[in-house]
Amino acid sequence: MKQIILCKYGEIVLKGLNRSGFEAELLKNVRRRLKSLGEFKVSSIQSTMYVEPLSDNIDLDEVTERLKKVYGITKICPAFACEKNLDAIYSTIKENLSDDLNSAKTFRVTAKRSDKRFPMTSMEVMAELGGMILNDFPHLNVDVKNPELTVICEIRDKAAYVHGPAIEGAGGMPVGTSGRALLMLSGGIDSPVAGTMIAKRGVIISAIHFQSPPYTSERAFIKVCRLAAKMTEYCGQVTLFSVPFTKIQEAIRDNCPEELFTIIMRRLMVEISQRIAEKYDFSALITGESIGQVASQTMSAIVATDAVSRIPVFRPCIGLDKQEIIDISYKIGTFDISIEPYEDCCTVFTPKHPKTKPTLAEVEAAQNAFDFEPLIQEAVDGTEFKTFKPYVDYDFLI
């Protein structure tokens, strides 16, 4: 009996004439995520993707876990395929769901007849299969509203498919359908969440990180690399740009008012990031800022930071509180890495009393009192990058 995984679409079904392009991108993403697990036939029919393993030794539990992190899929149904007749369908139910039926007290059957040539209606299929189950499992009772077990039968063009309740997918849009953006990845909790949230809307994510040795350590950079590698499970391939930032931070320390250190630093980070974005064809920047969370994230501070930007800055966490952000970081698997106690450049030369309501005029005047341009260009020219792919073990990250 052939096992197969049915994946149901979400927003893709609303895309009209553009739908085929979204489906093609989703299938491509699935093939990439599953490539290291073995050979699969991946196809799309009737708003459903079919993931069919081509050998018996493939770990279907791992396949399901990976599919749960592919944006564009809303439901995942590990199923058993059989012939399109009632006896074959019930035989498949009994062979593969008997343990579940024996342990449950209540059940229901749902049926979907996509193949309208099948001689029975969906209601007739449900009634017949429900009667067969009650005959062989007399301890069960039917509960159509809140059953312990739902047995699902889908009658489609090529076969009938039997499975239990669907598993929740990641939803969203397939990565690769909405352009490219550059995430400012600090090493904290918020920025990986922000990048993953934007990837959920179909955006290809790369990341940029600012290093300040000797004030920041090699372990701090490895931590950021581990975050980028972990994000690939949801975002797909992630390129991480590493910017040498020590000279700029020392220049800020030596030439700018202490209470404006953080705002000026953020402005220079945005300037460098958008030059990298322009060079590598990214359309927007992403940050993990949440309004009012720290001094540099007050509305006045964000206005002063955004004034330097020539491309959009997306802030998907802007209205979330810290616990909401933490909950998402647990879900995407980045929280434990983010809280490792390695410093990042944002903690270097932190002012004792940062200004929470700076005006744009005073920030610009303080920044313009020193010529940062040669240091900015030196940082851009010295930027290096690494690329991380999903489900690859990188030795240097251990």
State pLDDT tens for residues 178-221.
Answer: 999 999 999 899 999 999 999 999 999 999 999 999 988 889 99
Q: Which helix H or strand E contains 379, and what residues bound it?
A: helix 373-381
**Residue 342 pLDDT:** 74
Read off the pLDDT of each residue in 254-270 and give the average, rounded to a whole number: 93
**Residue 249 pLDDT:** 93
Lowest mean pLDDT among 8-12, 108-112, 164-168, 340-344: 340-344
Rounded Cα distance, 3 and 395, in Å: 35
Query: Average per-residue pLDDT in the chain?
Result: 93
State pLDDT tens for residues 131-185.
Answer: 999 999 999 999 999 999 999 999 998 899 999 999 999 999 999 999 999 999 9
Asked whether the predicted pLDDT for residue 124 surpasses 80, the reply is: yes
CB 212 within 8 A of CB 347: no
Rounded Cα distance, 248 and 76, in Å: 49
Rounded Cα distance, 164 and 97, in Å: 8
Q: Which helix H or strand E contains 374, and what residues bound it?
A: helix 373-381
State pLDDT tens for residues 19-74.
Answer: 999 999 999 999 999 999 999 999 998 889 999 999 888 999 999 999 999 999 99
Rounded Cα distance, 110 and 144, in Å: 9
**Residue 157 pLDDT:** 87
Asked whether the predicted pLDDT for residue 346 surpasses 80, the reply is: no
Residue, of 18 and 244, whose pLDDT is higher: 244
**Residue 334 pLDDT:** 96
Asked whether the predicted pLDDT for residue 348 surpasses 70, the reply is: no
Which pTM does this prediction carry? 0.92
Which DSSP symbol is given to 166? P
Q: Which helix H or strand E contains 111, and what residues bound it?
A: strand 106-113
pLDDT tier for residue 350 given thresholds of 50, 70 and 90: confident
Read off the pLDDT of each residue in 359-376 and give the average, rounded to a whole number: 94
Asked whether the predicted pLDDT for residue 296 surpasses 90, the reply is: no
Lowest mean pLDDT among 211-220, 223-232, 293-302, 318-327: 293-302
Asked whether the predicted pLDDT for residue 295 surpasses 80, the reply is: no
**Residue 142 pLDDT:** 95
State percent of the chain over pLDDT 90: 81
Asked whether the predicted pLDDT for residue 345 surpasses 70, the reply is: no
Read off the pLDDT of each residue in 257-266 and give the average, rounded to a whole number: 91
* Domains present along the chain, CATH in parentheses: 2-168 (3.30.2130.30), 180-397 (3.40.50.620)
**Residue 358 pLDDT:** 87
SS3 content of the chain, % helix, strand, coil (to 5): 45, 20, 35
**Residue 310 pLDDT:** 95
